Amino acid sequence: MKTPKSEIDKRYEDKHKEERKAAHAVWGTSMNREDFEELNKFLKVNHIRKVQLIYTGWEALKEQYKKS
């Protein structure tokens, strides 16, 4: 009998968990719901990924603090 895709995926995820944790980080943060919804709408309308927002903001802050 064929193994279900969900079981195959789970085995893959379990096997590569440490590798993923070493390569990526997740910030568990929260913000005001109204701001969150406005931000998500803005990102969607402008086809911007959240990770792009983070990197762009980070670069802008580095420039701002470099001038200080």
pLDDT in tens, 2-54: 899 999 999 998 999 899 889 888 888 899 999 999 999 999 999 999 999 99
Close Cβ partners of 23 (under 8 Å, ≥ 6 residues apart): none
Tokens found for residue 31: 């913000």
pLDDT of amino acid 46: 98
pLDDT of amino acid 24: 85
CB 57 within 8 A of CB 51: no
**Terminal Cα-to-Cα distance of the chain (whole angstroms):** 66
